[in-house]
């Protein structure tokens, strides 16, 4: 199995909505505070409990577009009716300081990073099955039925892209998936 290259290390974590990215990233950061997680910009409305600057920087479509036009994003993409982007400056500053950086982004963004930053290590997180993925999205209870349908349609496309990634981790047993991510990112 491959392991992430030496620092400055940029790791990209991608996987369909509901697979458990957020859950695993939260656990990773609790155990490894040295890992720096990029906070993305989005036009999506905050979910209950989400805080500005912690979970996302929340933008209007106009201010997101202005940032994109000004070259402020390392990558950005549309996902299920909203825009999401990685602010460029903070990522570059952390990498320059030798801090390991994690991006949790969707497939199109991961492809852009691959083109512009080929030394990044790219991990695809996959669910045990589409049925389990749907159970998890519904169980989270944060999306409308229309948004769930858009995310499930997108999930089918994303699952076909796993071969593009440096490593694939299945999130069936949470503790096992966490240990595998730690090993791949070089945190274990
Ligand atoms: P994502 O960030 O990929 O959209 P979340 O981290 O929000 O996904 O997880 C979606 C739901 O699945 C949450 O309710 C979470 O508690 C649950 N979940 C995550 N990992 C597992 C797992 N290994 N087994 C069962 N449920 C899980
Ligand atoms: P959610 O709305 O569930 O928070 O995120 C939806 C999707 O957007 C997830 O797949 C998440 O990984 C992705 N995402 C979050 N931030 C970014 C980003 O900065 N860029 C890209 N391309 N995708 C992102």
Does residue 135 share a domain with residue 118?
A: yes
Does residue 21 share a domain with residue 54?
A: no
Q: Which domain holds residue 139?
A: 1-35+100-188
Instruction: Give the residue among 84, 130, 134, 136 at the shortest CA–CA distance from 105.
Output: 84
The residue out of 52, 70, 99 marking a domain boundary is 99
| pLDDT exceeds 60 at position 8 | no
Cis peptide before 160 (omega within 30 of 0): no
Atom number, ligand 2, closest to the C-alpha of residue 73: 19
- Measured distance between the N- and C-terminal CA atoms of the chain, rounded to whole angstroms: 15
The ligand placed nearest to the CA atom of residue 147 is 2
pTM score of the predicted model? 0.94
Does residue 144 share a domain with residue 183?
A: yes
Does residue 83 share a domain with residue 171?
A: no
Read off the pLDDT of residues 78-136 as tens digits, 9 standing for 90 and up.
998 999 999 999 999 999 999 999 999 999 999 999 999 999 999 999 999 999 999 99
Domain count, the chain: 2
Which residue, judged by its Cα, is nearest atom 10 of ligand 1?
18
Does residue 113 share a domain with residue 80?
A: no
d(CA 91, CA 8): 11
Read off the pLDDT of residues 138-184 as tens digits, 9 standing for 90 and up.
999 888 999 999 999 999 999 999 999 999 999 999 999 999 999 99
Which residue, judged by its Cα, is nearest atom 18 of ligand 1?
20
Does residue 124 share a domain with residue 48?
A: no
Residue 28, domain CATH: 3.40.50.300
Instruction: Give the residue among 7, 19, 12 at the shortest CA–CA distance from 155.
Output: 19
- Res 6: pLDDT: 52
Does residue 119 share a domain with residue 72?
A: no
Does residue 85 share a domain with residue 67?
A: yes
- Rg of the Cα atoms in the chain: 16
């Amino acid at each position: 199995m491959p392991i992430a290259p030496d620092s400055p290390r940029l790791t990209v974590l991608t996987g369909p909505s509901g697979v458990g990215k957020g859950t695993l990233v939260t656990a990773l950061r609790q155990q490894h505070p040295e890992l720096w997680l990029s906070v993305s910009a989005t036009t999506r409305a905050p979910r209950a409990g989400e805080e500005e600057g912690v979970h996302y920087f929340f933008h209007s479509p106009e201010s997101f577009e202005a940032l994109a036009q000004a070259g402020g994003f390392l990558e950005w993409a549309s996902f299920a009716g909203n825009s999401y982007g990685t602010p460029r400056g903070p990522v570059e500053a952390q990498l320059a300081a030798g801090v390991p950086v994690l991006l949790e982004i969707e497939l199109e963004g991961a492809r852009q990073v691959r083109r512009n930053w080929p030394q990044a290590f790219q991990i695809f997180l996959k669910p045990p099955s589409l049925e389990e993925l749907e159970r998890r999205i519904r169980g989270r209870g944060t999306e409308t039925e229309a948004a769930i349908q858009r995310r499930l349609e997108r999930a089918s496309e994303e699952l076909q892209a796993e071969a593009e990634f440096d490593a694939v981790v299945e999130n069936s047993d949470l503790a096992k998936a966490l240990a595998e991510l730690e090993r791949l990112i070089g945190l274990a």
